[in-house]
Amino acid sequence: MELTSEKLKSDFINKITERMQVYEKDRIIRFSKLVIRELFVFCVLFFLIKCFMICLDDFDASFWFGVMICSVIYYSYYDITHSNKLFKQFIKSKCDSIISDLIYHDCYPLSSNILNRSNLFGYFQDVNVDDGFRGSYNTVEYRILEALLTAKSPKGFDIKIFKGLIVLFEFNKKILKDTIITRKREDNIRQNLHGLNIKRFMIPFSSIILFMIISLSFYNSKFDIQAFKFACMVLLPGFFFIILILVLPTYILHIIQQRKKPMTDTHMEDIVFNKDYVVHTNDNVEARYLITTSFIERFMKLQKIFKTKNIKCSFFDNKIMIAIPAGKDLFELCSLFVPLSSTIYINRFYDELSEILKVIDILKLNIRTGL
């Protein structure tokens, strides 16, 4: 099957569009209900704020205004994203028979042993698969998963180690040594416990503390320096204490962790590639054999297709694994907010798949030869 064929692409898009058109009325109904819910919630919020302003003589309740507004924003965000996700899952289930002509639906997760063996991820404990596909292209087996890798912090928090696409190809040849490609200064690899960082926790937590300090610093609608000092004295020590108990155990574990045999870094001939990425390998000769100019071009193009600059890749045993971080869902056929007559998402679905599978042709994975 040649995915670059315009006829195959055109036939696939026409079949999917024809199937989805039946559910356009359902999309409109779901969208209308969502709009009504959101309008109702904002009307209730407006009514409550007006009541506060009438009943209170001053603006001491600014903190509770903020809490209400944040709660409504959170609810609206959850409601919109959840409704959209349910609709996309519904449409994909209706189109499974057509998609299976191109690629098989498979949400079974990869084993932790394979993920660990790839050396692409920091220390993780759980693997959750949102969606998945498998298939064969030019006799090469492949799997594509939308996965979330998480771990528990020393205090029991769930920490995201990786979220995005994991693509696994089976070589028809043996790779003798391990080689990985990562973004420069990437420490979330090779089971590194730095993967238990709290950067994503720090930003919202710091914002909440700042919001509370500012809210408590106003008295009678005016900024009060004494109230500000009191808020800082009460909240900041607790903030630094929480950060201390979260960060310190992680770095202690990292220090005592048994170090793996180090890889050496090697530079490729592509200047642009070397500027952003580094190649870690146990065999420089094999690494240069694998990472050709054509492969680098395809690797860099994946950045543009998936709109990310943090793609990672690993060559090990008879496998190649590509990890593509993504904050949004990929391989989507539609959206609750776009008419089903539109082919934007279907085109993107096909292009995302074909760009990934072109790696098979570039690396000649179907050729049964040694390196």
> How do 264-266 and 126-137 pair as beta strands?
unpaired
Per-residue pLDDT, 193:
45
Is there a contact between 182 and 280 (Cβ–Cβ < 8 Å)? yes
Per-residue pLDDT, 107:
64
- Crossing angle of helices 62-94 and 199-216, in 10° steps, is 150
Phi, psi (degrees; rounded to nearest 5) at 109: -70, 155
One-letter amino acid at 323 equals A
Phi, psi (degrees; rounded to nearest 5) at 235: -90, -40
Is there a contact between 221 and 59 (Cβ–Cβ < 8 Å)? yes
Per-residue pLDDT, 328:
72
Structure tokens at 364: 């000649």
Per-residue pLDDT, 133:
80
Phi, psi (degrees; rounded to nearest 5) at 45: -60, -45
- Helix then strand then coil, in percent of the chain rounded to 5, is 50, 20, 30
Is there a contact between 107 and 131 (Cβ–Cβ < 8 Å)? yes
∠ CA(220), CA(222), CA(224), 5° rounding?
Answer: 100
Q: Give me the residues paired with residue 240 across strands.
A: none
Tokens 């769930």, residue located: 158
Per-residue pLDDT, 159:
81
Is there a contact between 53 and 61 (Cβ–Cβ < 8 Å)? no
Per-residue pLDDT, 258:
43
> Three-class SS of residue 238?
helix
151: left (phi over 0), alpha (psi -120 to 50) or beta: beta
- Taking the C-alpha atoms of residue 300 and residue 308, their distance in angstroms, rounded to an integer, is 10
- Taking the C-alpha atoms of residue 151 and residue 331, their distance in angstroms, rounded to an integer, is 26
Q: Give me the residues paired with residue 325 across strands.
A: 164
The one-character DSSP state at 151 is E
- Taking the C-alpha atoms of residue 27 and residue 31, their distance in angstroms, rounded to an integer, is 6
Per-residue pLDDT, 160:
83
Per-residue pLDDT, 252:
62
- Crossing angle of helices 6-21 and 344-363, in 10° steps, is 150
Per-residue pLDDT, 26:
93
Comparing CA positions, the residue from 251, 234, 37 lying closest to residue 123 is 251
- Taking the C-alpha atoms of residue 210 and residue 231, their distance in angstroms, rounded to an integer, is 10
The one-character DSSP state at 193 is G
Per-residue pLDDT, 327:
72
DSSP H helical ranges for the chain: 6-21, 24-55, 62-94, 96-99, 112-117, 199-216, 225-256, 271-276, 284-290, 293-306, 344-363
Report the sign of the C-alpha dihedral through residues 299, 305, 311, 313, in that order: negative
Q: What is the pLDDT along the chain (371 residues), one digit of tens a residue?
A: 555 567 878 888 888 888 898 999 999 999 999 999 989 988 888 787 777 666 655 545 566 666 777 778 888 888 898 899 889 888 888 887 777 666 666 667 678 888 888 888 877 888 888 778 887 777 778 888 888 888 887 667 788 888 888 989 887 777 888 899 988 877 666 655 444 445 555 566 666 777 676 766 665 556 677 777 777 777 777 767 766 666 666 556 555 544 555 678 888 888 888 888 989 888 888 888 888 888 888 888 888 878 888 889 999 888 899 998 887 777 788 899 999 988 898 888 888 888 777 777 776 666 654 44
